[in-house]
Amino acid sequence: MPELLTSLLIWIAANSNLEHDGASLPKVVMASAEALHEMAFGENFPKAIRSGKYKVSGLYNDVENTIYLVDTTDLTTEGGKALLVHELVHYLQHTNGRTKEHELRVLEPLAYVLEASWLQTRLYAWREEVANSVAVGG
Ligand SMILES: [Zn+2]
């Protein structure tokens, strides 16, 4: 896990204006979809909205310095690693102090852009993965 985190953090730093100090790493914890939903929205999620509509697949908690990934995430797959890239961007945004209110509007877009760019670098492997999952899973 540390090797994977480090290699993805180096890639993010090379492809953005975020810096990685090369030493510290966040914790990564797998959690159930229900637990993630609770962490993201708390108990105040409007009952009128079906919670299943808002699937949370990952989040970064800056107080605990922990990335939570839904426990169905397979980090040996490109799709799984892309999700980790997204959350690692949030980790670096935090460690780079990019969490001020006026910057909030760019936090998510940058995470999605880097997630997509990373998948682009892994396009062949990822395409095969998606094709196989469609063939098997229907
Ligand atoms: Zn995000």
Flag whether 135 is in a domain.
no
Residue 134, domain member (yes or no): no
CB 83 within 8 A of CB 115: yes
The pTM of the full predicted model, rounded to 2 decimals, is 0.84
* CATH number, domain with residue 107: 3.30.2010
User: Does some domain include residue 26?
Assistant: yes
Q: How far is the CA of 110 from the centre of ligand 1 (A)?
A: 9
Residue pLDDT, tens place only, 88-115: 999 999 999 987 766 777 888 999 999 9
Is residue 49 in a domain?
yes
Domain count, the chain: 1
Q: How far is the CA of 115 from the centre of ligand 1 (A)?
A: 10
State the distance from the centre of ligand 1 to the C-alpha of 85, rounded, in angstroms: 10
Structure-derived torsion over alpha carbons of residues 96, 97, 102, 104, reported in degrees to the nearest 10: 70
In a domain, 132, yes or no: no
Distance 88 CA to ligand 1 centre (A): 9
For 43-77, write each residue's pLDDT tens digit.
776 666 655 667 889 999 999 999 999 999 999 99
Residue 120 in any domain: the answer is: yes
Residue range of the domain that includes 103: 2-124
